[in-house]
Homo-oligomer: A and B are copies of this chain.
């Protein structure tokens, strides 16, 4: 059990760990080569700047990847702790360096909490920074059970979800999900450096979101990229290939200036693969298809009637992604179909009836349509994919 903890490096991550563990009742000792940072963290409530009386149960080395092994060796030599972990965003390189720099690496388990903010430093720290987030652990075969359990306890008290991986698998994963995306965002952000002021007036939220991560500290990120160079290069070589293919197509189109045609295929291909890639990273996609009950409600087509219905169902957890409208062929009327969370279904049914709508039995198949249905989105991804019709404005 962890009764005493040391945090070495009181930046955003280290201080957040200190806040979370202090709140939990653990005695936390804060160390930083910059006393101002450690004292700021202490004044925030992350722990004390007093030195521990003896070895603490666990020390968290919260410094950049390239510095982990050196700091760990230094702290091992002075006997700071019984077990050690780190929070660096690459794992293979520190593991190699650590095994060469301390006599017994069985007390060290690599760690990487998947949490951060663009803002760095202790003032940005939050006790709940890790809540619900994955926290990778990369134990070597010789790890002691005590060291592993100390790391698992740290993760648990920070409210995170442990995920045991091998170092190489971890590094390939973060190259794909974090490091290469950072480079790609920087590549785009770098284009904005010398752009005319008038062009920047047209900037919208899309570009801001797409480049936000590029705002991270350049030196810290260069160290991360260096420490994970090969896996990151592998991802970026693939990006480069796709970009080259796209550029050829784009430049041919620029010369021809012709109408839409087969020359657009490489662009559509890439864009469609992008859309497909995003399906895998939708937040909690499972929740949407499960535990929902379908509704079908015919509406009067007076202005605003549909908005009134959408507002009503929105209060019961139905977003516009859960809604489609259909034209009914036989009766020339519009029906609104949506999926509501099962827990809210009964109450919603009663409310809709009270407000004058007639909810139809959805176990019967929908009637034939005046038109192919305009399916902008369905609650079931598979159906949506198959039934995908235009979602762009169509030409009358």
Contact = CB atoms under 8 A, between A and B. Distances in A.
Interface in A303-322: 303-307, 310, 320-321
A183 B266 CA distance: 12
A11 B377 CA distance: 14
Interface residues of A, number: 166
A376 B119 contact: yes
Given A45-B307, A188-B180, A236-B250, A267 B225 contact: yes
A260 interface: yes
Contact of A278 (B34, B214, B217, B334): B214
B191 A176 contact: yes
Nearest to A374: B36
A371 B321 contact: no
Interface stretch (A139-147, A240-248, A349-357): A240-248
Contacts of A331: none
Given A120-B392, A280-B195, A394-B34, A181 B202 contact: no
Given A67-B395, A124-B320, A202-B174, A374 B34 contact: yes
A391 B120 contact: yes
A45 B325 contact: no
Contacts of A220: 392
Given A267-B226, A303-B45, A281 B239 contact: no
Contacts of A343: none
B240 A236 contact: no
A278 B173 contact: no
Contact of A214 (B208, B222, B274, B301): B274
Given A14-B393, A123-B310, A187-B243, A42 B204 contact: no
A214 B271 contact: yes
A366 interface: no
Interface in A151-200: 163, 165, 169-170, 172-174, 176-178, 180-193, 195-200
A63 interface: yes
Contact of A11 (B165, B270, B393): B393
B31 A396 contact: yes
Nearest to A376: B121
Nearest to A13: B393
A83 interface: no
A8 interface: yes
A211 interface: yes
A210 interface: yes
24 contacts: A8-B396, A33-B396, A36-B374, A40-B325, A42-B301, A43-B305, A63-B394, A133-B204, A178-B206, A184-B184, A184-B185, A185-B274, A186-B273, A187-B274, A189-B278, A190-B242, A190-B270, A208-B283, A209-B212, A212-B278, A215-B274, A217-B391, A226-B253, A232-B250
